[in-house]
Structure 1
Amino acid sequence: MGSPEVVDLIRVLLILILAYLAYIDLRTFRLPDFITLPLIFTGLCFNSLPGLQFVSLQESIFGSLLGYLLLWLLNRLYRYIKKQDGIGMGDAKLLAALSAWLGWASLPSTLLIASITGIIGGIVWLRFNQKNHETPFPFGPFLIFAGIIELLWPQFLQNLLLSNLT
């Protein structure tokens, strides 16, 4: 099995794991550490393998740290203002895992896609469950959706936006 086949197999396995995580988050509002933490570690390990990596190891490490730190800081700011958590740390670990696999350059588009679909999905979720705007809903599936888009079509959003400018 050559490199392209191995990389495609890794993509399929990663998508299956992410789909399972989305299912867990939708059912339990939790992203378990026993899945997210190994996902970070395996992303870093995969990107340290020459010839198979999605991004360089440096981009992977920086992305993982930055991905976690962004959501951690956002939650700290929300907690300071509202005196309660606004986002779960499972989501921060998930973003760290996605960034460990896809690198730091994927963070802006991953967060933008997840935020837009999260707003739309959140409105639908709240209406469907007849809840008010203060009711929590799982954000992990939207991060996962955005991560899968970045995994399958890297830099999709940038290409889409830049093609419309010319």
Structure 2
Amino acid sequence: MIATASLILLGLACVWLAWIDLREGIIPDWLNLLIAAIGLVRMAALAGWVPAVAMLCEGIVIGAIVWLLRWLYFKWRKFQGLGLGDVKLLAASAVWIGIVGIPTQLLIASGTALAAAGLMRLSKRPVTRLTALPFGPFLAFGLLAVILLQQQG
């Protein structure tokens, strides 16, 4: 019951996140915190507080690594390639899928974002290297897809 309810709440939060990011170009901190909190409560209820704290630590590590990569990219290119909301969403995602699931989430998110950019191009919308495309909806989709993949494996 807790596992199902938490997945439903996560799905609703991901849809809400995608809607906000597509409309406003921002992922609210409270929504990232909600996603992390639901994952933390779910893990605590299903496996206990020790594994829940371990997943929280994985989220912090992922957040720090991705923030560092964001900072290095900015120093190198003088252009922000990833928003802080995306960094925080990846940290919150790690609470759900662990460090091991993040590369797959990024692969799925990047592939679907690339497909969306291709569809934009096919529909005659201008797409350049400076075209902004909110990445949050694709990260949210990737998170849900990895959860499904992990449950089947």
Query: TM-score scaled by structure 1?
Result: 0.79
Pick aligned residue for 2:62 from 45, 50, 67: 67
Greater relative CO (CA pairs within 8 A, separation 6+): 2
Task: Say which SS state the counterpart of residue 2 (structure 2) adopts.
Answer: helix
In structure 1, the residue matched to 2:146 is: 150
Query: TM-score scaled by structure 2?
Result: 0.85
Q: Supply the distance in 1 between the matched residues of 2:93 and 2:105 (Cα, whole angstroms).
A: 9
Q: Closer, same or farther in 2 for the Cα pair 1:146/1:52, shift >3 Å?
A: farther
**TM-fit CA distance, 1:96:** 1.0
Q: Supply the distance in 1 between the matched residues of 2:10 and 2:19 (Cα, whole angstroms).
A: 14
Structure 1: where are the runs of 5+ without partners? 160-166
Are residues 1:36 and 2:58 paired? Answer: no
Equivalent residues, number: 152
In structure 2, the residue matched to 1:163 is: none
**TM-fit CA distance, 1:106:** 1.1
**TM-fit CA distance, 1:115:** 1.8
In structure 2, the residue matched to 1:13 is: 9
Pick aligned residue for 1:102 from 62, 87, 97: 97
Q: Supply the distance in 2 between the matched residues of 1:7 and 1:101 (Cα, whole angstroms).
A: 12
**TM-fit CA distance, 1:25:** 0.8
Structure 2: where are the runs of 5+ without partners? none
1:107-146 superposed Cα distances (whole Å, 9 cap, x missing partner): 1211121122222223334664324221211011111111
Q: What is the Cα-based RMSD across aligned positions, in Å?
A: 2.4
Q: Closer, same or farther in 2 for the Cα pair 1:29/1:47, shift >3 Å?
A: same
Letter in 1 for 2:135: F
Task: Say which SS state the counterpart of residue 130 (structure 1) adopts.
Answer: coil
Q: Supply the distance in 2 between the matched residues of 1:155 and 1:106 (Cα, whole angstroms).
A: 12
> In proportion to residue count, which structure has more helix?
2
**TM-fit CA distance, 1:87:** 0.4
